[in-house]
Chains A and B, each alone.
Chain A
């Protein structure tokens, strides 16, 4: 008969525990992207066709066509120049309203480019009239 084998005491090795936990911790730290939603905030006009009479002097028309060309006050300009132009106008007339109109086939990116440029110029009054 064989002698009974001595069993080693059953125990979880605790020295490597923290290593394992650290590894898991790092994994979850990396995976958890605190999903912050970033974007351009705008305020839509209230419902209804409330015609607000505006002095034509206080309106700047920004038209975007289906190929992304920008007509800024009846003048074709590159998108990147909108910020500078808008700053000038805003400085000379604080009541200036920028009205952005697009074609129904305009790409969303082109529209966002224009809104982005106007936001960069700290435009306070932005009217998004929509499509023609």
Chain B
């Protein structure tokens, strides 16, 4: 019996559409990348071992910066300690999930941190995350 062999289709990755695919991925990553890193004060975060990922969605996280000299910054504005609760309270009222990510310097004195914490309590923003780097 003579069966005609089927002609094999040429094997090979089609390269014509390759660049389209890659460009699509590229555009995705460009859009997803925020080159602008979180702004604020320059802090050297403390080190800790048992750190966990923050489980709050990103839009509900508010960064509070405290640098080593005790300057406090929220949303790129320098604040006095007494004004912290006034700034945070409206945000807290609009967002039940609001989590404060406290980015404080290693060398900051606890007096300031504690004052800020008391202000946060006054604003009912009780969920706090002490930002830290792995040891």
Contact = CB atoms under 8 A, between A and B. Distances in A.
Q: Do A and B bind each other?
A: yes
A111 B113 contact: yes
Interface string A24-49: 11001101100111111111111100
B1 interface: no
A89 interface: no
B121 A109 contact: no
Q: How large is the interface on B (under 10, 10 to 19, 20 to 34, 35 or more residues)?
A: 35 or more
Q: Is chain B's binding surface mostly helix, strand, loop or mixed?
A: mixed
B106 A39 contact: no
A44 B122 CA distance: 10
A108 B116 CA distance: 13
Q: How large is the interface on A (under 10, 10 to 19, 20 to 34, 35 or more residues)?
A: 35 or more
A87 B30 CA distance: 47
A87 to B, nearest CB: 13
Contacts of A9: none
A129 B104 CA distance: 18
A25 B22 CA distance: 7
Highest count of chain B CB atoms <10 Å: which of A36, A38, A42, A45:
A38
Interface of B: 15-16, 18-19, 22-23, 25-26, 29-30, 32-35, 37-38, 46-55, 61, 101-102, 104-111, 113-114, 117-118, 120-122, 124-134
